[in-house]
């Protein structure tokens, strides 16, 4: 989105390969870029649905951020995770189990809020850069967050068009739920790495710049 106003080239790493200066990705996927961490992003992308007292958590396929989030919850409540498809997650939640899904599937209790009740506070996405000189990108990212808050409809159109991740109708429905929050606090980054390294060992190798 910021490329509409700044001289910054945006690329979708889900569909493009290449050598990038700055990358935003899930905390469980970003280690593969081999760059240092300069910031974290809290995004409310997931919902807890069904019975929150259940020890069995249904979620989507293994290795997704949703799966890792479910495993973080399971560790905290001594529960188990069962991977399946989104429709089955919703069905099992209706039958008395707990489910964890993306907001595009169903909106329930915010995963971030539910996790915080259990004492879990972690950014699910990180921003990595080649070196400290790219920190100025964070100012532009914050402008993007503020633009989304002020212009959700236009933002949904731009994001849908640029990313091809969700269709415009879906993006307009869920964009207001995301509540992006940027953090550069070392304590937040260290805590996030600690939380997610418990379910994905590669996260432990992440290094914070500065």
Q: Does position 175 have pLDDT exceeding 70, yes or no?
A: yes
* Confidence label for 164 from pLDDT (cuts 50, 70 and 90): confident
Cβ-Cβ contacts under 8 Å for 169 (sequence gap 6 or more): none
C-alpha to C-alpha distance for 113 and 52, rounded to whole angstroms:
12
Q: Do residues 202 and 31 touch, judged by C-beta distance below 8 A?
A: yes
pLDDT bin (cut points 50, 70, 90) of residue 51 is: very high
Residue 83 pLDDT > 70 = yes
Least confident of 43-47, 67-71, 173-177: 173-177
Contact between residue 131 and residue 36 where contact means Cβ atoms under 8 Å apart: yes
pTM above 0.85, yes or no: yes
CA distance 2 to 143: 8
Per-residue pLDDT, 1: 39
What are the tens digits of pLDDT across the range 3-25? 444 566 666 565 566 678 999 99
What are the tens digits of pLDDT across the range 85-116? 999 999 999 999 999 999 999 999 999 999 99
Percent of the chain with pLDDT over 90: 85
**Average model confidence (pLDDT) for the chain?**
92
Per DSSP, 3 falls in state: G
Residue among 208, 203, 206, 144 nearest 178 (CA)? 144
pLDDT for residue 195 is more than 70: yes
């Amino acid at each position: 989105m910021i490329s509409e106003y700044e001289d910054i080239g945006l690329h979708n790493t889900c569909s493009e390969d290449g050598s990038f200066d700055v990358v935003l990705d899930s905390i469980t996927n970003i280690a593969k870029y081999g760059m240092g961490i300069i910031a974290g992003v809290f995004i409310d992308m997931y919902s807890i649905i069904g019975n929150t007292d259940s020890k069995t958590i249904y979620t989507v396929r293994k290795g997704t951020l949703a799966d890792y989030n479910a495993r973080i919850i399971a560790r905290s409540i001594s529960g188990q995770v069962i991977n399946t498809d989104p429709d089955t997650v919703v069905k099992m939640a209706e039958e008395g189990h707990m489910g964890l899904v993306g907001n595009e599937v169903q909106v329930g209790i915010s995963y971030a809020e539910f996790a915080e009740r259990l004492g879990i506070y972690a950014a699910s996405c990180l921003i990595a850069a080649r070196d400290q000189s790219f920190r100025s990108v964070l100012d532009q990212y914050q402008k993007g967050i503020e633009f989304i808050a002020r212009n959700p409809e236009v933002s949904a159109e731009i994001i849908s068009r640029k990313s091809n991740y969700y269709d415009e109708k879906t993006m307009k429905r869920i964009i207001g739920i995301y509540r992006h929050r940027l953090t550069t606090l070392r304590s937040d980054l260290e805590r996030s790495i600690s939380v997610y390294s418990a379910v994905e060992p590669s996260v432990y190798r992440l290094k914070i710049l500065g």
